[in-house]
Amino acid sequence: MATSEPACPKCKDAGYYCLDVPISDPNFGHLITCDCRLEEKEARRNQELRKLSNLDAFDDKTFETFNPDIPGVRAAYTRCREYARNPQGWLFLYGQFGCGKTHLAAAIANEAINRDIQVIWTVVPDLLDHLRSTFGPSSEVAYDQRFETIRNTPLLILDDLGTESATPWAREKLFQIINHRYNLKLPTVITSNRDLDQMDPRIRSRLNDVVLCYPVLLKAGDFRALSVEQRYGSFRSFGR
């Protein structure tokens, strides 16, 4: 009976291989992880981040579907597009309900995924729920693993900062994540409709660091109050 050829000629689908070197070579007998196995691990990791981000519900929130012609959003739209091309430092998007912060944040996330940048996009209360869920007996992921994944992801986008439950545990976990990323200057996008003086003073001080954090005010009103023509422009949508 004929057998099919292995998909990977280097490791013969074993996932590991040994170098063909003399016994005196220090690498003799050492298992080396094959590129095909590394690609599988990377794909699984990206799938896990995508699941954690729950971005499927925001697939339509892109820069192409955002209407920058609505008064008060052009500058924010331009700055977010620039950031998405080269995520460096922090962006703090703020403004009232319905002005487009979530749409722009999700657009940055979707652009990052298209550019093969690992990203976690999450609403802050959902983030804390994800962490709490790791303490349950049915959790497949340990708390430490989930916490490290979140705070060290190459790009973290936190939507609706300030709407989380103000428990001591929630405040401390959120601060630990933000402070870690602040200390390491990891690319981070944060949106909020709260005034800075309503936030944890420790987080406020980091958002006020003009060297690292670029504040972006969206001056538009609630898009829900706009007419259909104003809201969508030329076949565009305008996010929440």
Residues β-bridged to residue 155: 119
Query: Do 105 and 159 touch, CB atoms closer than 8 A?
Result: yes
CA atoms of 160 and 192, how far apart (whole Å): 5
For domain 55-232, say whether CATH 1.10.3470.10 is its number: no
Q: Which residues contact 63 (CB under 8 A, 6 or more apart)?
A: 77, 80, 81, 84, 107, 111
At residue 238 the predicted structure's pLDDT band, cuts being 50, 70 and 90, is very low
| Each residue's pLDDT tens digit, 115-125 | 888 899 988 98
Residues β-bridged to residue 191: 93
| Each residue's pLDDT tens digit, 150-195 | 999 999 999 999 877 778 888 899 999 999 999 999 999 999 998 8
Segment 20-24 shows an average pLDDT of 70
Higher pLDDT pick, 93 / 44: 93
Q: Which residues contact 73 (CB under 8 A, 6 or more apart)?
A: 66, 67, 99, 100, 218, 219, 220
pLDDT for 31 beyond 80: no
Q: Tell me, what's the pLDDT at 21?
A: 62
CA atoms of 153 and 187, how far apart (whole Å): 9
How many helices (H) and strands (E) would you count in the chain? 8, 7
Rounded to whole angstroms, what are the CA distances from 177 to 29, 48, 110?
A: 41, 19, 22
Q: Tell me, what's the pLDDT at 236?
A: 39
pLDDT for 34 beyond 50: yes
Segment 129-156 shows an average pLDDT of 81
Q: Which of 44-58, 59-73, 112-126 has the lowest mean pLDDT?
A: 44-58
Q: Residue 56 burial (CB < 10 Å; 0-12/13-18/19+)?
A: exposed
Q: Tell me, what's the pLDDT at 232?
A: 43
Higher pLDDT pick, 79 / 24: 79
Segment 195-217 shows an average pLDDT of 92
What is the average pLDDT value for the chain, to the nearest integer? Answer: 82
Q: Tell me, what's the pLDDT at 102?
A: 93
At residue 135 the predicted structure's pLDDT band, cuts being 50, 70 and 90, is confident
Query: Do 220 and 100 touch, CB atoms closer than 8 A?
Result: yes
Higher pLDDT pick, 128 / 240: 128
pTM of the model: 0.73
CA atoms of 199 and 194, how far apart (whole Å): 8
pLDDT for 230 beyond 60: no
